Structure 1
Amino acid sequence: MSFHIHLSGHVKKVVDDTVPVLVADLVATGITACDPTLWGPEAEAEAAQRLGWVQCVTASRDLLPDIYLLRDDLLEKGVDRVVLAGMGGSSLAPEVIAQSAGAPLVILDSTDPRQVRAAIDGDEEGGLAETVLVVSSKSGSTVETDAARRLFEAAFQDAGIDPAERIVVVTDPGSPLDVSAQAAGYRVFHGDPTVGGRFSALTAFGIVPAGLAGADVEELLEEAEATLLEVAIDSPHNPALVLAAAIAGGTPRRDKLALVADDTQLVGLPDWVEQLIAESTGKDGSGILPVVMLPVSPELDARPDDLQVVRFVDEAERFHVFEHHPGEVLVSASLAAHFIVWEYATAIAGRMLGVNPFDQPDVEAAKQAARALLDTPPTAAAPAFVEDGIEVRASDPGLLAPGTVSGVLSELWSRTPADGYVAVQAYADRAALSELQGLRELVAADAGRPTTFGWGPRFLHSTGQYHKGGPANGVFLQITVAGEEDLAVPGRPYTLGQLIAAQAAGDAAVLAARGRPVVTLTLTDPQTDLLALFDAA
């Protein structure tokens, strides 16, 4: 078996009680046969068009000759820096594939002007002259990806480089991006319209950018094919059934899922799992909230009753080393096996929760709010107060009553329900301000509840669905960064700075309208030591 899972304590009992029901209901063979009725009549139409991931390996293998031919052609021309412009499922899977393989792949999943400028300019490893841009969008209308493409086109043209020689497109056939790319003479790889974005790891959206960057995607597909045989049958030993029962079973269900990479070389895998689970299950007031943690995160010491821990390790033989906390789920597998088993398990978890795992009804709300703000920009609201260069705003005047940053944060934490969570959202350059991710640990310790961290606007395509469609028990902290640097988007009536500001404000407005408390801290100086302030909160 390529996917090893170890259970102990309460979660073993949950699995022992749950898996026989899944086996009797023929859930695994139903998914393998692409049966759209598994998730109920309301989900049937959507499911009928979204099960292609079960059979995607064969089609993906057909892409390999073209991927390798293009990679060799680019290398012969001295083009060895691959930049991927994509959001959500179009970037998270290729990122973990490339990172785990040690293949250099620059991820551009932001509208922050500084991050986009850095992706265009390059670094000591290579600049624009050595760069190929992969533009990846299933819908072909993703606003962040569209902006990146337009800016790279202009940069290539300014440098005397034909964009048709340096831009590769991955999109579904017939999408707006497909039409425009074909007209511009760009190299286009088509995705499968029957595969949703977050289930697309082993389709063109995962293997094209990772393959161009140098990852061995042929081996990845071979491992995936072997794992598909393991999850296809209704057996109590089917790892997908076991994993689904572990994360979605039990009464009461532990609906906060800690994802801990403790001893693994699979870099970034928890981030991919986070998107898959949050966007698939967080709807209709239900869901599983994935929380990416460190091995030393505060929640692992506190162990709240609603937290289930999944720990990723490299070698199953070392499971005994990690058995110091009974009740954890320990998993060990190749990357391809993880992709297959987690996709099956997430689809099964959706069935167990009674939700459609293939739609994302609440993602569009934030997009619409952002578009409205771009179309009719409002007058910027003055901050409630400013402290040490940090502008403070909030959805509720009561949150602002303390009059200090630390006091406002304490007030926000106090609004967290006993079964709730805190979400920290940083609309910033995640390369230049990577230390902001350390806020997650500080907030979790201060708030005493499971805490997520997301880079904006990337998280809008993943946990953003859970925030608005899942249980109404979250409180939200936005971090935005003001700055002089900006980039106009060619052919669009806005700049990147205006776009990212609209995305943050739009999401805050939607959250507030649904009764979620929101505090926004705007750094007027990117060098502000925000971590020190949080230490005092």
Structure 2
Amino acid sequence: MSIRIAVSGAAAAAVERIVPQLVSDIVASRITGQDGSLWGPEAEDESNKRLGWTESVAVSSPLVPDILALRDKLRADGVNHIVLGGMGGSSLAPEVITKTNGVELTVLDSTAPGQVLAALADRLETTAVVISSKSGGTVETDSQKRAYEHAFTAAGIDPLERIVIVTDPGSPLDVSAREAGYRVFNADPNVGGRYSALTAFGLVPSGLAGVDIEALLHDAEAMSIELAVDSEDNPGLILGAAIAGTKPLKDKLAIVADGTHIVGFGDWVEQLIAESTGKDGKGLLPVVLDVDAPELTENIADLQVVRLVGDYEATREVNEGDIEITGTLGAQMLTWEYATAVAGRLLGINPFDQPDVESAKIATRGLLDSRPEPVAAAFVDNGIEVRGTGTVLEGTSDLAGAVSSLLSYLEDDGYVAIQAYVDRVAHPELASLRSVLAERAGRPVTFGWGPRFLHSTGQFHKGGAPVGVFLQITETTEADLSIPDRPFTFGQLIQAQAAGDASVLAEHGRPVVTLTLSDAASQLPTLLAALRK
């Protein structure tokens, strides 16, 4: 078997209770047969158009020779650095594929001007860029494409020789890119972005960067038959039941890398599960944790721990209540996709739409069009501007008080989301805030880099259970960059994305505190102190 799963406690009870019924309902073979009726009549139309991922290996295999041929041509032309402009599943899958294989890929999944400027300044003479977007209408990738077109032209390099497009056939980007003369790879239009790891969206940037994508597809193919069979040993059914069938439901899902060879898998799983299940006031909230995370010793009743482990013997003892899973990357990806589809059926939701992702985009566009004056800070503490929605900051006048006030809204079944709209390459240290706040709150804490989380956990934040409290972190920097032929800069764009999302969260009744840093590196100790008080 390419996948091994061990379950215990409530997860094991869920598997024992639910899997036989899934087998009786021939759920596995119906998913493989692309039966959209599995998720109810309201979801059927969307589901019928979003099950192409079950045959991704067969559909994607013919692309491999063309991808490898382009890789060889680029290398012959002296191009040895690949950049990916993409968001959500379009960037997270190639990131985990390349990291796991030890291959360099610069993932530009941000509108932070410092991060964009750093990417543009990095080996432009020997760089090729993959722009990945299903429609081409994604503001981040459109802006990244424009920036690289301008940079290549200014350097005397023909953008047509250095920019590769991945998109759906017939999309506006497909039409415009082909008319302009760009090299275009089309993905299967019957696959949603978060399920697209084994399509052109995952394969083109990874293959051009140097990954053995044939081996990746082979690993997935080896798993596909097992996942299609209506059997109580089917790992997709077992995993789906374990994560979505516990009674009472453990709807916070800790994803812990604990010996696995796969690098960054938690971030990919996070977007797959959160965007697929977080709607209609319910869902599963993935929380990506280290092995020493505070949540793992807190005995949190609604937290289901899933450990991504290395190869182990059948005699290995599983921590009571945990789920443990091991397997190759391709096999893991396909198994989790099946499990997420199964989880959607068990939760009674449509796992293929994302109704609340668009709300943040609309709010962002509105702010970019009207360009209102920034909302004045409620107060400034040690150079950090503090803002809040609703009444969350009433009676507070310092940073520690703002954090305490936000946490006072945290319910017994709630969670905290830290959303950092900053340059993640320049300031990775901000991720340390997660464990500090988790230790204080005693509840699960997620950490997302903005704006990329808007295309993943952003759906759960608005559409899932209304029990989240939100700490936004933004930055003001002197660095900025114009977006060619657009009336706004990258700096204005990321500010609008943060403000737009905060406004939508507020409309949904979620409390938000926004901290704006002027110097993230020097202000981190102040921030950590405020979180600990």
Question: Paired residue for 2:405, among 398, 401, 411?
Answer: 411
Q: 1:272–1:15: structure 2 CA closer, same or farther, 3 Å change rule?
A: same
Contact 1:394 1:400 in 2 (8 A): no
Does the 8 Å contact 2:254/2:306 carry over to 1? Answer: yes
**Alpha-carbon distance change, 458 to 173 in structure 1, aligned in 2, over 3 angstroms:** same
Find out whether 1:217 has 2:213 as its counterpart. Answer: yes
Structure-1-length-normalised TM-score: 0.98
Q: Is the 8 A contact 2:392 2:511 kept in 1?
A: no
- What residue is the counterpart of 1:77 in the other structure? 77
2:499 aligns with 505
The runs of 5 or more residues in structure 1 that have no matched partner are none
1:24-68 Cα offsets, whole Å, 9 max, x none, are 111101101111100000000001101100111112110011111
- Partner residue, 2:324: 330
Distance in 2 of aligned mates of 1:35 and 1:115: 43
Deviation string 1:118-176 (CA, Å, 9 cap, x unpaired) is: 11111xxxx00010000000121110000000000000000000000000000001111
Distance 1:454 1:190 in 2: 29
Would the alpha carbon gap of residues 492 and 318 (structure 1) be closer, same or farther in structure 2, given more than 3 Å must change? farther
Which of 344, 350, 353 is 2:344 aligned to? 350
Determine which of 451, 454, 460 is the counterpart of 1:460. Answer: 454
Give the AA of the match of 1:290.
P
Query: Post-superposition, which runs of at least 4 consecutive aligned residues in structure 1 deviate over 4 A?
Result: none
Distance 1:527 1:250, change over 3 A: closer
8 Å CA contact 1:260–1:270 kept in 2: the answer is yes
Alignment match, 1:143: 139
- Pairwise CA RMSD: 1.0
Distance between the aligned counterparts of 2:38 and 2:87, measured in 1? Answer: 29
- In structure 2, the CA distance between the partners of 1:318 and 1:17, relative to structure 1 (3 Å rule), is closer
Q: Which residue of 1 aligns with 2:284?
A: 288
Secondary structure of 1:62's counterpart equals helix
- Do residues 99 (structure 1) and 99 (structure 2) align? yes
Q: Identify the residue that residue 484 of structure 2 maps to in structure 1.
A: 490
Give the equivalent residue in structure 2 for 1:45.
Answer: 45
Partners of 2:255 and 2:158 lie apart in 1 by 43
Partner of 1:488, secondary structure, is coil
Q: What SS does the corresponding residue of 1:65 show, helix, strand or coil?
A: helix
Q: 1:232 Cα deviation (Å)?
A: 0.4
Q: Give the AA of the match of 2:221.
A: E
* Aligned residue identity for 1:69: A
The one-character-per-residue Cα deviations of 1:7-34 (angstroms, maximum 9, x if unpaired) are 1223212211111111111110110111
| 1:316 CA displacement | 2.7
Structure 2: how far apart are the matches of 1:272 and 1:219? Answer: 19
Aligned to 1:320, what secondary structure does the other structure show? Answer: coil
Contact 1:275/1:463 (CA < 8 Å) preserved in 2? Answer: yes
Paired AA for residue 179 in structure 2: A
Structure 2 equivalent of residue 271 of structure 1? 267
User: What is the 5 A alignment of 1:153-164?
Assistant: 153-164=149-160
**Residue aligning to 1:518:** 512
**Larger displacement relative to structure 2 (474-483 or 55-64):** 55-64
Q: Is the contact made by 2:89 and 2:197 (CA closer than 8 Å) also made in structure 1?
A: yes
- The answer to whether the Cα contact below 8 Å between 1:423 and 1:452 also exists between their aligned partners in 2 is yes
The aligned residue for residue 185 of structure 1 is 181
Report if aligned partners of 1:134, 1:169 keep a CA contact under 8 Å in 2. yes
Corresponding letter in the other structure for 1:338? Q
More moved, 14-23 vs 462-471: 14-23
Match 1:171 to one of 161, 167, 170 = 167
Partner residue of 2:108? 108
Q: Is the 8 A contact 1:311 1:329 kept in 2?
A: yes
Residue 397 of structure 1 deviates from its aligned partner by 3.1
User: How many Å apart are 1:278 and its aligned residue?
Assistant: 0.1
**Using the alignment, how far apart are the partners of 1:499 and 1:218 within structure 2?**
38
For 1:357, the aligned partner's letter is: P
Residue 241 (structure 2) aligns with: 245
Taking only the aligned residue pairs, the percentage that are identical comes to 59
Secondary structure (helix, strand or coil) at the match of 1:527 reads: helix
Please state whether the residue corresponding to 1:189 is helix, strand or coil.
Answer: strand
Candidates 366, 371, 393, aligned match of 2:387: 393
Q: Kindly tell me the number of residue pairs found equivalent between the two proteins.
A: 531
Q: Verify the 8 A CA contact 1:84 1:135 in the aligned structure 2.
A: yes
Matching residue of 1:299: 295
> 1:474-494 deviations in whole A, cap 9, x for unaligned?
000000000111001001110
Contact 2:4 2:326 in 1 (8 A): yes
2:6 is matched by which residue type in structure 1?
Answer: H
Question: 2-side partners of 1:85 and 1:273: how far apart?
Answer: 20
Shift of 1:400: 4.2
The CA deviation string for residues 309-340 of structure 1, in whole angstroms up to 9 with x for no partner, is: 0000121328726x3x3010000000001111
Report whether the alignment pairs 1:119 with 2:122.
no
Residues in 2 aligned to 1:288 and 1:132: alpha-carbon distance in whole angstroms: 37
**What SS does structure 1 have at the residue aligned with 2:355?**
coil
Q: Secondary structure at the match of 2:321?
A: coil
TM-score by length of 2: 0.98
Amino acid across the alignment from 1:371: R
Moved more, 30-39 or 2-11: 2-11
By how many angstroms is 1:217 displaced?
Answer: 0.4
CA–CA distance in structure 1, aligned partners of residues 313 and 175 of structure 2: 51
State whether residues 401 and 408 of structure 1, in contact with CA within 8 Å, keep that contact through their aligned partners in structure 2: no
Unmatched 5+ stretches in structure 2: none
Partner of 1:256: 252
Q: Is the 8 A contact 1:281 1:356 kept in 2?
A: yes
1:367 and 2:341 equivalent? no
The 5 A counterparts of 1:433-472 are 433-472=427-466
Matched residue, 1:427? 421
Alpha-carbon distance in structure 1 between the residues aligned to 2:405 and 2:245: 34
Q: Does structure 2 conserve the Cα–Cα contact (< 8 Å) formed by 1:422 and 1:475?
A: yes
Quick one: structure 1 residues 25 and 183, their matched pair in 2 at CA, closer, same or farther if it must change by over 3 Å?
Answer: same
SS at structure 2 position matched to 1:475: strand
Q: Match of 2:121, as an amino acid?
A: D
Q: CA deviation at 1:387?
A: 0.8
Tell me, yes or no, if the aligned pair for 1:312 and 1:331 is still in contact at 8 Å. yes
CA–CA distance in structure 2, aligned partners of residues 84 and 202 of structure 1:
16
Q: Which amino acid aligns with 2:464?
A: G
SS state at 2:316 partner:
helix
Find the counterpart in structure 2 of residue 198 from structure 1: 194
Q: CA deviation at 1:183?
A: 1.7
